[in-house]
């Protein structure tokens, strides 16, 4: 029997940093009693392993070795996702500035992507079998991880809006940052993520683009719920 959730299948949610993707994906999953997967947290957790080992994040051979030896367990409850690395809860550490700085080269390592995409597909298959549906957020979900997803959404927002949101998130989490520094970091990561050779950030040809510059959180979630309904992916009763 397929589980108790209201969502049937996979919602792939891609887009650059600061579009509100994580919050939107979690809220959408909660509204549909679905599972939730933050694939960026997995690249970040491997980056923690790389930094802990004192390895250069731009050395693909060494990074691959660390990734092979790292054991990730990723939570898929949208209320409290969480992630452990070798049994250690790294949910807070993965959001720190050292990790944010080093994650781009780590996520551009072909072997890391191969490993993590395989794990992501297994998590997605398990959620669909056991609960019915899952909202998956990242950069390559609609293009690589789940190209058959029945709904693909590509979230965008102006650079300025994205930098403002990131700065707000940082100060809410007690991390020091300035708008200027965050804007530079957003541009640096966009550049890196869009120009890397393996799975660059880009919208799938059949993705629905949703611009969140002038939408608040509730407005964005409503727009996505509407798409889910119109695709016939929501079961009720
Ligand atoms: O969404 P985020 O900022 O937590 O993602 C962290 C980094 O991981 C980001 O620089 C891009 C990369 N990433 C990726 O390459 N592919 C994904 N599916 C998710 C994230």
Closest atom, ligand 1, to C-alpha of 41: 4
Q: How many CA atoms, within 13 angstroms, populate the side-chain half-sphere of residue 206?
A: 13
CA-based nearest residue to 233, from 154, 157, 153: 153
Angle, CA 158 vertex, CA 10 and CA 182 arms, to 5°: 95
- Topology of 9-223 in CATH? Rossmann fold (3.40.50)
Q: How far is the centre of ligand 1, averaged over its atoms, from the C-alpha of 236 (Å)? A: 33
Residues with CB under 6 A from ligand 1: 17, 39-40, 43-44, 103-104, 107, 138-140, 189, 193
Closest atom, ligand 1, to C-alpha of 107: 15
Q: How far is the centre of ligand 1, averaged over its atoms, from the C-alpha of 11 (Å)? A: 17
Note whether 161 and 33 are within 8 A (CB).
Answer: no
pLDDT score of 2: 60
CA-based nearest residue to 22, from 172, 161, 217: 217
Rounded to whole angstroms, how far apart are CA atoms 33 and 4? 8
H or E, element range at 114: helix 110-130
The one-digit pLDDT tens for each residue of the chain (237 residues) are 566 779 999 999 999 888 889 999 999 999 999 999 999 999 999 999 999 999 999 999 999 999 999 999 999 999 999 999 999 999 999 999 999 999 999 999 999 999 999 999 999 999 999 999 999 999 999 999 999 999 999 999 998 898 888 888 888 888 888 999 988 988 888 888 888 888 878 899 999 999 999 999 999 999 999 999 999 999 986
Which residue's alpha carbon is nearest to atom 10 within ligand 1? 104
From the CB of residue 123, how many other CB atoms can be counted at a distance below 10 Å?
Answer: 19
Which residue's alpha carbon is nearest to atom 2 within ligand 1? 40
pLDDT score of 3: 62
Quote the tokens at residue 9: 């299948």
Domains of the chain, by residue range, sit at 9-223
pTM of the model: 0.92
Q: What is residue 141's DSSP assignment? A: I
């Amino acid at each position: 029997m397929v589980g108790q959730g209201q969502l049937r299948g996979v919602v792939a949610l891609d887009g650059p940093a600061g579009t509100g993707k994580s919050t939107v994906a979690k809220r959408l999953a909660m509204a549909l009693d679905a599972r939730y997967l933050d694939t960026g947290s997995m690249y970040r957790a491997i980056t923690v392993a790389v930094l802990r080992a004192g390895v250069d994040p731009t050395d693909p051979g060494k990074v691959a070795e660390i990734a092979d030896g790292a054991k990730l367990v990723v939570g898929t409850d949208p209320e409290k996702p969480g992630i452990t690395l070798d049994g250690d809860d790294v949910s807070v550490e993965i959001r720190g500035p050292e990790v944010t700085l080093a994650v781009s080269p780590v996520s551009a390592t072909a072997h890391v992507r191969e490993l993590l995409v395989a794990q992501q597909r297994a998590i997605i298959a398990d959620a669909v079998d056991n609960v019915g549906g899952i909202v998956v957020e990242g950069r390559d979900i609609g293009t690589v991880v789940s190209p058959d997803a029945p709904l693909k959404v590509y979230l965008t927002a102006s650079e300025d809006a994205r930098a403002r949101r990131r700065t707000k998130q940082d100060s809410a989490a007690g991390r020091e940052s300035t708008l200027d520094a965050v804007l530079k970091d957003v541009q640096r990561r966009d550049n890196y993520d869009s120009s890397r050779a393996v799975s660059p950030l880009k919208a799938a040809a059949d993705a629905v683009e949703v611009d969140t510059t002038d939408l608040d959180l509730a407005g964005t979630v409503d727009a996505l719920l509407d798409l889910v309904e119109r695709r016939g992916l929501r079961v009720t009763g």
